Structure 1
Amino acid sequence: MSLRTRVRRAGAPVGRPLRRAALGLRTRGWPAHSRLFIAQEGADWVLAYEARQLAKLASSLGIHVGPESWVNGIGDQSIFHESQFRLLLHPFKRRGNRLGFAYFHGRPGTPGMPEFDACYETLQRRHAEIDRIQVTNRAMEEVVLGTGVSSGKVHRIPIGIDVEAFRQRTPAAKRHARHELDLPESAYVVGSFQKDGVGWGEGLEPKLIKGPDLVVAVAERLRERVPELVFLLTGPSRGYVKAGLERSGVPYRHVFLPSEAVATAYEAIDLCLVASREEGGPKAVLESMAVGVPLLTTRVGQAADLVRHRSNGWMVDVEDVEGLVEWSAHVAEAPAAELEEVRRTGLATAEENSYEALRPRWRDLLDGFVEMPESS
């Protein structure tokens, strides 16, 4: 441990109360629960993007949004955590605050995920201290209500989509994206866009709830069915999948794009593949639909609520490798008319779940949680 770290930790017991006292002086004139503070995980990944979207929406409703760096010291205000893990895995005190969080995923009893059980058990004990919970799908809503929390505190709001950032692609946009990402124009490109390795390093240890082993199994079998197959990977910690594709002889490209540029990856692919065992979203459901890319997903998270098999996408049961292979091959061979109908229906689904379309649901969640103008 470095000297700097030892000094910082030694000073923490003194520094934290001083910071809270200073914040108290700066905010003592604020009416109670007149500011919204949005807490996120440290990594700039999905939850950071959702935090920015929530801050934008709250501001548009006339809500005062405070700086995220004040979350640990503020009192008598309203704090919404973008993940239940940030709040429920640690001792917490209300300090007069109203507390809320997103409970995207975390089914208790999941093998190898003791943090799921810990969060669930804490919510069972302390649900009276929680004021709002966002869930993204019916299955997780049932899980959360099983803790005994009042149904009036639980709001089902899917992870939305910015339809201005994720626009329907054109043939020219697809060619441009392939050129930018160094993908052969003639290849059949399958996209897998997520973080599916443990931690934030190379990701050689698989995060099995995300299904990286299933992605590799599908790729290995699909290469025998689809000529010029190439996988496009985005996101951090994809080492396990990359190693598996290399062993199977499946060509791939791995790029890490900022959230604002992820649409380019969708523009380049022929099929978006989701093979997860558990999800809160995934965001890929609405992102692929908004861009007009065929989606094949397992029955997880909000995909189970939003995807209608062979209407706006294709869906199979969790761990159904055979189904993933067969429907991937089906999409690769499908006539243009079938793909066009799915594209059109998928676009309608995306528009129905855009951030703007979900605004009334968020207003309902925030009403009574934080002060907002009556006319918003």
Structure 2
Amino acid sequence: MTDPAAWAEHLRDEPPVLVTGAAGFIGMHVAERLLEAGLAVVGFDNVNDYYDVRLKRARLERLSGRPGFRFIEGDLADARALGAAFDAAGAPRRVIHLAAQAGVRHSLTNPGAYADSNLTGFLNVLEACRAAAPAHLVYASSSSVYGGNARLPLSPRDGVDHPVSLYAATKKANELMAHAYSHLYALPATGLRFFTVYGPWGRPDMAYWSFAEAIMAGRTLELYNMGEVSRDFTYVDDVVESLLRLAPLAPAPDPGFDRMNPDPARSWAPHRVYNIGRAEPAPVRALVAALEAELGRKAEVRLVPAQPGDVAATAADVADLERATGFVPQVTLAEGVRRFARWWTDWTVRAG
């Protein structure tokens, strides 16, 4: 049952879907798609000030106007607040965990925020799932877990033992923690390694947003690693489609798992990991060119050295995603930037 519409029909008599990070970029889009399909959603988020709170509140306004949505504000590190969200969802059968402290560079200066949200917070999610016993926990991981691995494309079967940022280390820790709970408590869990997600309602700390601001303000934008950077830019609608197609596919134990030659993407436990990417990496210079074309202005560019925690290139191997769901991300960088630029131009006018 890989068609989201069929999944929605199947879930109409179930408790609401619990979506953590509902005020976030991907979380809002996921919740919106679920609501559009006629499903009830309980959203959970702490609405922190890591970036403009007005943007987060505006996302929530889009959701709160739809029938079937209930929002609970609280912090992942507060087990009682998270428990209230689980209670509000009535022991949810589906938990989509997208809340986290994001950002590679922020982790260099505020490491405690990552311990609180991504480690303690994720442990609280797992403990709540242990008590509620949902049919499936889908949680956000990141392509950052691949760290120093330079063999492209990056495969879920590659090792992820050399993270180059604390953020990446917390995401790898999440995968290990989820696997342990899958093994110990038979919790079906799927980790999604997102590759550079972008699009409308996105995050101001991401390059595509800061580049747009710099271009329109006539400021010089910096290209790290002397401009020699490429990313597997993945449009948010493709990310949501991938997630919704995987969500009904709760993993089962693999009886053929070879413990003498373990596959990092599979397990004897009901736990799986997938890449979610466009599988067509592009140089960051191409992102700048696309923004220039859509915004109608040339960028002033300065080449600077690589920053701590950065990697030179990412590219996703999505063969497992395609085999499981019949879907791979479709939106080209040019089209995705066009949609983002139209939304962003409107948002900057409304936000002042």
Question: TM-score, normalised on structure 2?
Answer: 0.32
Which is higher, the Rg of structure 1 or of structure 2? 1
Question: TM-score, normalised on structure 1?
Answer: 0.31
Higher RCO (C-alpha 8 Å, min separation 6): 2
